[in-house]
Amino acid sequence: MLIATPAPRDPAALPRLVLTAVVILLLWPGLQLSELDLGVLFDEDNARTMGGFVADFWPPAHDTDFLALLARATLETLAIATAGLALALVVALPAALLASRALSLSAISRNGHPAWWAQALRWPVRGLLIVLRSVPEIVWALLFVRAVGLGPTAGVLAIAITYAGMLGKVYAEIFESVDPLPTRALLGAGSGRLAAFAYAMLPQATGEMLSYTVYRWECGIRASVVMGFVGAGGLGQQMDLSMRMFAGGEVASMLLTFLALVLLADLISRLLRWRLA
Amino acid sequence: MTLRLVGVGHSHANGTAALADLQLEVGQGERIAVIGPSGAGKTTLLRLLGTALRPQSGSLEILGEAPWAMSARARQRLRARIGLIHQAPPLPARQRVVTAVLAGRLGQWSLPRSLLSLAFPLDATGAEAALARLDLADKLYQRCDQLSGGQLQRVGIARVLYQRPALILADEPVSAMDPVLAGHTLGVLTREAQTQGATLLASLHAVELALAHFPRIIGIRAGRILFDRPAEAVTPAELAALYANDQLEEPSVRIAPLSQPLAVPRC
């Protein structure tokens, strides 16, 4: 006769229970602190105001004058995002190369661990990248609107600064995540660091770098819209005006334009990845 | 003198000694096979000679220079004169064969030339010539991930031949090839090393290939040199002692008699 012995207790059960408890304990004060109250959504007055505004959304505004204005603002938004990203790349690429330990010469003979002084030299660059991205682009935009006046320049500069920090950090991490052996092999055969980067690391990292860069460009489009509200030009500035005038149809047209822009970014990303796969 | 090792020792990070008290002298243009059981320290020795590891004791002289007494820049110049053939060639999967071969000369090219060559192969003829010696000329514009393991190993060899280093180090250069191709490729490698006047040191698992292609044989066991003599002076008893394994009941490595060609496929 078989004796049914109970299976040994799942060793992962207790850690999972503790983790769940910790998450709930951490999230509850968060809900309290953020004063989240879903009740306001169902308040009759608020619902009527919102309903009226949303009802205006149909049909989206499409008269010729407005469409011309919209096209101009869209182009401006695209230009802000693209110029900002290009400026950001100029800073981010060299900074990522400096901050990443994947190109360390001292690491070749030390099993991939750079010498302590080489590591110490990377910290200032990392610090710079942290400073660049720790201040939100909207704050930079407010700052630059005061410095260089209303208009797209403030948006471009704000995106360039914040995104340089983000791109630099992520690029450095991508460089460190690819297979280090091809790079080490080239460095070990006397190649310079930049040449080793171009021949061994870039072919492995391009796909991820492109995908992240295009995603950042998409974020840049959205960010430039937000910054438009503080006067940094583009679609956002138009949208701010339309919102103030409760022109729901115009807002709807602009939201549809956003949708198209994000779709476009997605298509570009997919195309590039497919081409490179 | 191409290589001079005096009392060289190296331990792994976990403290086990990989090589201890190594004495070795190698002259210009010599061709040497390093044989020994798995884990004997063959790869560590090659990495030490390729300046990819720093010896923890003893003194090391490569191509007449002491690599660890010079500046990093001078060491990079020295490294450009050393070619290391890897057992599994570390080539980016999406790179084309022509680029992978041309990368052999990055240590000699200026940065602008290297970058230009990445966009448009400046010396495709040279790369093709190097590949042709290994019967791979038709793979010039294919991507590395379209090649088999044995073909990749031959691309790795072609890269080092294209580099034209003064010292060629090969770590199991033919381990992914069938016996016939392995013998042929080793023949090409030793012949090319001879014509280029380069010193060649190769670690090999296949004893019969080592004895057939290399004039001098070094047997390494447990981090020490067991014997170091001309190929024709190596005795079966020495080989048996080199590969003797106390932990296995039957010897895992069968050493074929010297006269008989071995036809067992190895992977």
Q: Parse chain B into domains and list their residue ranges.
A: 1-81+165-267, 87-164
A vs B: CB pairs below 8 A: 92
Say whether B82 and A186 touch across the interface (CB within 8 A). Answer: no
By CA distance, what is B167's nearest residue in A?
Answer: A189
Contact B118 A199 (CB under 8 A): yes
Test mutation, B76, B102, B110, B146, chain A, max A CBs within 10 A: B76
B86 contacts on A by Cβ (under 8 Å): 185
B193 in Cβ contact with B201 (< 8 Å):
no
- Does an H or E element contain B181, and which? helix B179-196
Q: pLDDT class for B247, splitting at 50, 70, 90? A: low
* Chain B residue closest in CA terms to A185: B90
Q: Do A190 and B72 touch (CB under 8 A)?
A: no
Domain range for A145: 55-276
In tens digits, what is the pLDDT along chain A, a chain of 277 residues? 566 778 888 888 899 999 999 999 988 888 888 877 777 777 788 788 778 777 877 788 778 888 898 899 889 889 999 999 999 999 999 999 998 888 888 777 776 677 777 778 888 989 999 998 898 888 888 888 888 888 888 889 999 999 999 999 999 999 999 999 999 999 989 898 999 999 999 999 988 898 899 889 988 888 888 888 888 778 888 888 888 888 888 888 988 998 898 898 889 888 887 887 6
Q: Does pLDDT of B129 surpass 70? A: yes
Mind listing the pLDDT tens digit for each residue in A144-163? 888 888 888 888 999 999 99
Six token digits for residue B61 = 């002289």
Interface confidence (ipTM) of the complex: 0.85
Q: Give a yes or no: residue A242 inside a domain.
A: yes
The enclosing domain of A75 has a CATH number of 1.10.3720.10
Give the nearest chain B residue to A104 (CA atoms): B72
Contacts of A274 in chain B (CB under 8 A): none
Model pLDDT for residues B154-182, shown as the tens digit of each residue: 999 999 999 999 999 999 999 889 999 99
Q: What is the pLDDT of residues A14-25, one digit of tens each?
A: 999 999 999 999
The proportion of chain B whose per-residue pLDDT surpasses 90, expressed as a percent, equals 60
Residue A227 lies in a domain: yes
Contacts of B78 in chain A (CB under 8 A): 190
Say yes or no: B113 contacts chain A, CB-CB below 8 A: no
**Structurally, how many domains does chain A consist of?**
1
pLDDT tens column, A60-97: 877 888 889 889 988 988 999 999 999 999 999 999 99
A208, B181, B206, B208 from B263: Cα distances, Å: 46, 12, 11, 11
B94 vs A: CB within 8 A: yes
Decide if A31 is inside a domain: no
Looking at residues B38-48, what average pLDDT do you find? Answer: 90
Compute the nearest-CA separation of B20 from chain A (Å).
18
Is residue A191, in this structure, part of any structural domain at all? yes
Contacting residues of B for A194, CB less than 8 Å apart: 111, 114-115
Q: Which CATH number fits domain B1-81+165-267: 3.40.50.360, 3.40.50.10790, 3.40.50.300, 2.60.40.1220?
A: 3.40.50.300
Q: Which residues pair with A131 in a beta bridge?
A: none
Cβ-contact B30, B2 below 8 angstroms: yes
Amino acid B127: pLDDT = 93
- Asked if the structure places residue A219 within a domain, the reply is yes
- Work out the minimum CA distance from B220 to partner chain A, whole angstroms: 22
pTM for this predicted structure: 0.79
* Residue A35, in any domain of the structure: no
